[in-house]
Chains A and B, each alone.
Chain A
Amino acid sequence: MSNPLEEVGHKWGMVIDQDLCTGCQACVTACAMENNIAFVGEQDAAYGRSLQWIRVERFWEGEFPEVKSTPFQPVLCQQCGQAPCEPVCPVYASVHSENQQINIQVYNRCVGTRYCANNCPYQARVFNWRDYREPGPLDNALNPDVTVRRRGIMEKCTFCVQRIVQGEDTARAEGRQMADGEVVPACAQACPTEAIVFGRLDDPDSLVSRLKRDGRAVQLLEELGTQPSVTYLKGGSSYGRNG
């Protein structure tokens, strides 16, 4: 489907190299710190109400120690081009950003029907079942560039849009184009093996675009036609990024 506004703004994308991922959970932690994601505590977590915008799924194939080398898969919002969560929102809180070519959740618009989460094939959306206040001095660690969500609000990965907007603003203030790799979301920044790479897909020379052309590239549930912006690399044999 061609959208005239497809030409507008940037098309952000991410490549996750599963052959490099060690499953260390640094991305999960960094994401929670950057995006003011609340810690729900043991009890709510047991109810399946934990708040995570990125999770590391683990697939064992084979018998230990002869497991295949790609057992870990970080899953986050795939920022679909044709997002199943968007048309089901009755109040237009789950909208497509024409400017950034991502799916955004407008928290102040959200009324918490949870239709979007139910329609998300990647289970990337999480719901705030309570007001999880940060106790004591911990609230000083909140990121002022991200809204603190209330109870009854759906939330999900935004590709760290606050960093994108800030990067664009800085580049425009300095009167230049943004360089490849200038905007780095928290998960990619924290990844010790650089398995997560972020950048512009509309720039054919960016690192993400080049990696996306790698023979190992697959997308999650591609057959659904959601046109994800996240691409996974897995092949097992070619360990490391050697071109």
Chain B
Amino acid sequence: MLQRLKLLERLQNLARRPIFWIVTGLFTILLAAGVGSGIRSMQAPPPQPLDFNHQVHVGLGIQCLYCHPGAWRQAAAGLPTTAKCWGCHQQMANTKPAQQVLVAYAMAGESIPWVPVFIQPDFVYFNHRPHIAAGLNCENCHGEISRQTVAQPIPRQNMGWCLDCHRGRAAGDEQMLARLTDCATCHR
């Protein structure tokens, strides 16, 4: 009992010193900054070999499916090959730094190592085809890509996100509900 009182007294003494508050304050700020930057880095787009600008290209009237042709007929939407970029860009000046990077890859005949932005874990089997066939737009899941200068990830696209939409779509249809919520539909 006496010991505990002594401890309390020492704590009270400590709290009267300004250094205590300075250290606690600094610690709190550091912690908040750490958490903040952690959350930010999860939502920030990953660094790409070159910044591909969707806004410029979609603004030119190029269809999403011209560059991501898998979306309407198979599981993976796919990314364009360097040859597809080069088909247009070999006729252009390519003065911007990002275009210079493209030129270097095209001259070397290499594919550009894009970093995945939207990616599910290996044990999830997503399929674009049925979603496009059901009339969904790319924007339903990928956001306003056509207004972005770099493809931005969207956080919290987890199992709950998939199932919320599936349940809503299948409301009232028992067979469709069983199909769209069956574990084997997404996990194999």
**Which residues of chain A have a CB within 8 Å of any CB of chain B?**
5, 8-9, 95, 97-100, 102, 104, 106-109, 145-148, 158, 161-162, 165, 169, 172-173
Q: Judging by beta carbons under 8 Å apart, are A97 and B188 in contact?
A: no
Measured in the bound complex, the distance between the Cα atoms of B162 and A55 in whole Å is: 37
Q: Judging by beta carbons under 8 Å apart, are B182 and A97 in contact?
A: yes
- Given A98-B178, A169-B129, the answer on whether A108 and B123 have CB atoms closer than 8 Å is yes
Question: Is B175 on the interface with A (CB-CB < 8 A)?
Answer: yes
Identify the interface centre among A109, A161, A162: most chain B CB within 10 Å of its CB.
A161
Q: Kindly list chain A residues whose C-beta atoms are within 8 Å of the C-beta of B123.
A: 107-108, 147
Q: Which 8 pairs from chain A and chain B are nearest by CB?
A: A99-B182, A98-B178, A108-B123, A8-B178, A147-B123, A99-B178, A104-B184, A106-B183
Measured in the bound complex, the distance between the Cα atoms of B73 and A145 in whole Å is: 17
Q: Kindly list chain A residues whose C-beta atoms are within 8 Å of the C-beta of B114.
A: none
Measured in the bound complex, the distance between the Cα atoms of B184 and A99 in whole Å is: 9
- Given A8-B175, A146-B188, A162-B188, the answer on whether A169 and B127 have CB atoms closer than 8 Å is yes
Q: Kindly list chain B residues whose C-beta atoms are within 8 Å of the C-beta of A147.
A: 122-123, 187-188
The majority secondary structure among interface residues of chain A is loop
Q: Judging by beta carbons under 8 Å apart, are B184 and A97 in contact?
A: yes
**Which residues of chain B have a CB within 8 Å of any CB of chain A?**
73, 121-123, 125, 127, 129-130, 133, 174-175, 178-179, 182-185, 187-188
Q: Kindly list chain B residues whose C-beta atoms are within 8 Å of the C-beta of A165.
A: 125, 184-185, 188
- Given A161-B188, A165-B188, A173-B73, the answer on whether A97 and B183 have CB atoms closer than 8 Å is yes
Q: Judging by beta carbons under 8 Å apart, are B127 and A158 in contact?
A: no
Instruction: Select A100's contact among B130, B133, B184, beta carbons within 8 Å.
Output: B184
Q: Kindly list chain A residues whose C-beta atoms are within 8 Å of the C-beta of B178.
A: 5, 8-9, 98-99
Q: Kindly list chain A residues whose C-beta atoms are within 8 Å of the C-beta of B184.
A: 97, 99-100, 102, 104, 158, 161, 165
State the Cβ distance, B95 to closest chain A Cβ, in Å.
Answer: 40
State the Cβ distance, A2 to closest chain B Cβ, in Å.
Answer: 15
CB-nearest residue of chain B relative to A173? B129
State the Cβ distance, A214 to closest chain B Cβ, in Å.
Answer: 29
CB-nearest residue of chain B relative to A148? B122
Identify the interface centre among B123, B129, B175, B183: most chain A CB within 10 Å of its CB.
B183
Q: Judging by beta carbons under 8 Å apart, are A8 and B174 in contact?
A: yes
State the Cβ distance, A121 to closest chain B Cβ, in Å.
Answer: 23
Measured in the bound complex, the distance between the Cα atoms of B184 and A109 in whole Å is: 12
CB-nearest residue of chain A relative to B73? A173
Q: Kindly list chain A residues whose C-beta atoms are within 8 Å of the C-beta of B179.
A: 8-9, 99
Identify the interface centre among A145, A146, A147, A148: most chain B CB within 10 Å of its CB.
A147
Q: Kindly list chain A residues whose C-beta atoms are within 8 Å of the C-beta of B175.
A: 8-9
